[in-house]
Amino acid sequence: MRNVLAVILGGGKGTRLFPLTQLRSKPAVPLAGKYRLIDIPISNCLNSEINRIYLLTQFNSASLHSHIRQTYRFDRFDGGFVEILAAQQTMEGHNWYEGTADAVRKNLRYFEQSGIEYVLILSGDQLYRMDFAEMLETHKKSGAHASIAALPVTREAARGFGIMRVDDTGRVRGFLEKPKCDEEIDKLVRTDPAWIDARGIKSHGRDCLASMGIYLFNMDTLVELLSKSDYQDFGKEVFPMSIRTHNVHVHLFDGYWEDIGTIRSFYEANLDLTLPNAPFKMEDQRFPIYTHARSLPPTRCDGAHIKRSLIADGCVIGEGSIIENSVIGLRCKIGKNVTIANSILMGADMYQTEEEVQSDIAKRIPILGVGDGSMLDGVIVDKNCRIGEGVHVQGGESCTVTERPPVVIQDGIIVIPKETTLPDGWRL
């Protein structure tokens, strides 16, 4: 895999993940208590023996830079790297990235390295496990100029994806973005379930192949496609064009895959990880998820009741507290008799000293964490928040807030932004 270079697209402003992206880029959003979204594609690369990785980003990238710098360090003789390429002024142009394809086009000079024959294009906001060596094998056997990972889906789910039509060899012959009705599917992009079954994947009646936004290009093909067009988006422009002009094949995939692009999908993907039979196993050591190694103490529980939850390192959970179906992040301090249900707490970046705690108490400011007797249900709490005593916050589809509140509601989910303070007795 040394002739494969990975390029991870960091995405735009991440407006659909606001306010989690208010102070950080989308790939830097915390995941599962102790990881960040960017750890998923990088871990997939490393587990596939790809260790030359570029990350393209331009918005709020300070925390992302810090995470990459602290986490991914390679042997100096190995040649591996994870480097961030942020938008910059050059002799060729001074504009920001105008889209995924434009971002890659503006950095081609970094990718055209000696010995690199293939470029793997990945998204920075998806949760999945994939062995890219298998995708490269499919790519080589088919003699393709480009390959795309395809997920079999039902026609009901197909309405949210770009759907491909393939011939008997697996070559892509058509593409339709978010088909609106069964007639469009039947006429333009339906795939015979028997064709999927014949390739070792049980179709279970699924007759649509959805694009996963994972592309493998021959280097010369990628350069040609981008240099001869001014297209800005891979999924909507470059990929449909390449179908008409080049040999493009699908690589079938049937594992867990989730696009974490909205507050709702982020919330549900995290809570799915707490299930007894979670669809995505974080603890699978055949394909580990790598992240920043921290020197934190074990979590301490003092008479708490914890059910179907993920608890990260360095937490302190008080007596009588109840935590159910929730994700508790690093360094969370949870007081006594607190109830947390169906919620995601991202934790804190630091511990408060005893002097800082006493100073806050004297000023009647809640300390970092969740105060005694509080209740959080259906809530996402970003990092470094101060939730006072007796606070009651409960989400739901009918939940509303007053003008310019300290919290944000997206998709019926209450999000408490980073470093927010909710005083004692605050209710919603």
Residues 331 and 215 reside in one and the same domain: no
Q: Residue 235: which CATH number?
A: 3.90.550.10
Q: Would residue 278 count as lying in a domain?
A: no
Q: Would residue 222 count as lying in a domain?
A: yes
What the block records as the tokens of 205 is 């009646």
Q: Would residue 140 count as lying in a domain?
A: yes
Amino acid of residue 410: Q
C-alpha distances out from residue 239 to 5, 101, 184, 301, 302, Å: 19, 10, 20, 51, 55
Residues 171 and 261 reside in one and the same domain: yes
Residues 317 and 238 reside in one and the same domain: no
Question: Do 290 and 71 meet the contact criterion of CB atoms below 8 Å apart?
Answer: yes
Residues 253 and 126 reside in one and the same domain: yes
Q: Would residue 277 count as lying in a domain?
A: no
Q: What is the H or E stretch that residue 39 is in?
A: helix 39-47
pLDDT band for 88, please (50, 70, 90 cuts): low
Dihedral sign from CA coordinates of 144, 145, 149, 153: negative
What the block records as the tokens of 201 is 């994947």
Q: Of residues 389 and 102, which shows the higher confidence score?
A: 389
Question: Do 236 and 229 meet the contact criterion of CB atoms below 8 Å apart?
Answer: no
Q: Which domain holds residue 372?
A: 300-422
**Mean pLDDT over the full length of the chain:** 92
3-state secondary structure of 402: coil
CA 84 – CA 61 distance, rounded (Å): 9
Residues 215 and 345 reside in one and the same domain: no
Residues 257 and 304 reside in one and the same domain: no
Residues 257 and 393 reside in one and the same domain: no
Q: Would residue 133 count as lying in a domain?
A: yes
Residues 307 and 230 reside in one and the same domain: no
pLDDT on residue 90: 53
Q: Residue 376: which CATH number?
A: 2.160.10.10
C-alpha distances out from residue 283 to 187, 193, 197, 290, 332, Å: 43, 32, 29, 11, 21
Q: Would residue 118 count as lying in a domain?
A: yes
Boundary residue ending a domain (252, 272, 292): 272
Q: Is the pLDDT of residue 84 over 70?
A: yes
Ramachandran category for residue 385: left, alpha or beta (phi over 0 → left; psi -120 to 50 → alpha): beta
Torsion angle of C-alpha atoms 322, 325, 326, 327, degrees rounded to 10: 120
What the block records as the tokens of 128 is 């999945």
Residues in CB range of 389: below 8 A, 6 or more apart:
335, 366, 371, 372, 373, 374, 424, 425
Residues 104 and 202 reside in one and the same domain: yes
Residues 398 and 250 reside in one and the same domain: no
Q: Is the pLDDT of residue 12 over 80?
A: no
Q: Is the pLDDT of residue 110 over 70?
A: yes
At residue 258, what are phi and psi to the nearest 5 degrees? -140, 130
Residues 129 and 79 reside in one and the same domain: yes
Rounded average pLDDT over 44-73:
90
CA 27 – CA 34 distance, rounded (Å): 14
Q: Is the pLDDT of residue 43 over 70?
A: yes
Give the count of domains, the chain. Answer: 2
CA 159 – CA 179 distance, rounded (Å): 5
In which residue are the tokens 């058509």 written?
174
pLDDT on residue 95: 63
What the block records as the tokens of 370 is 């969740």
Q: Would residue 295 count as lying in a domain?
A: no
Rounded average pLDDT over 349-370:
96
What the block records as the tokens of 222 is 């990628």
CA 304 – CA 307 distance, rounded (Å): 10
Residues in CB range of 339: below 8 A, 6 or more apart:
321, 322, 374, 375, 376, 377
Residues 177 and 248 reside in one and the same domain: yes
Boundary residue ending a domain (255, 272, 289): 272
Write down the pTM of the prediction.
Answer: 0.94
Q: Is the pLDDT of residue 401 over 80?
A: no
At residue 5, what are phi and psi to the nearest 5 degrees? -110, 135
Amino acid of residue 320: G
CA 56 – CA 296 distance, rounded (Å): 31
Least confident interval from 20-29, 232-241, 331-340: 232-241
User: How would you write 211-247 as a 3-class SS string?
Assistant: EEEEEEEEHHHHHHHHHCCCCCCHHHHHHHHHHHHCC
> Which tens digits make up the pLDDT trace of 197-240?
999 999 999 999 999 999 999 999 999 999 988 888 888 889 88
**Whether residue 19 has a cis bond before it, omega within 30° of 0:** yes
pLDDT on residue 203: 95
Q: Is the pLDDT of residue 180 over 80?
A: yes
Percentage with pLDDT > 70 across the chain:
95
CA 169 – CA 46 distance, rounded (Å): 30
Q: Would residue 292 count as lying in a domain?
A: no
CA 423 – CA 128 distance, rounded (Å): 39
CA 376 – CA 31 distance, rounded (Å): 19
C-alpha distances out from residue 365 to 301, 354, 368, Å: 25, 14, 9
At residue 105, what are phi and psi to the nearest 5 degrees? -55, -45
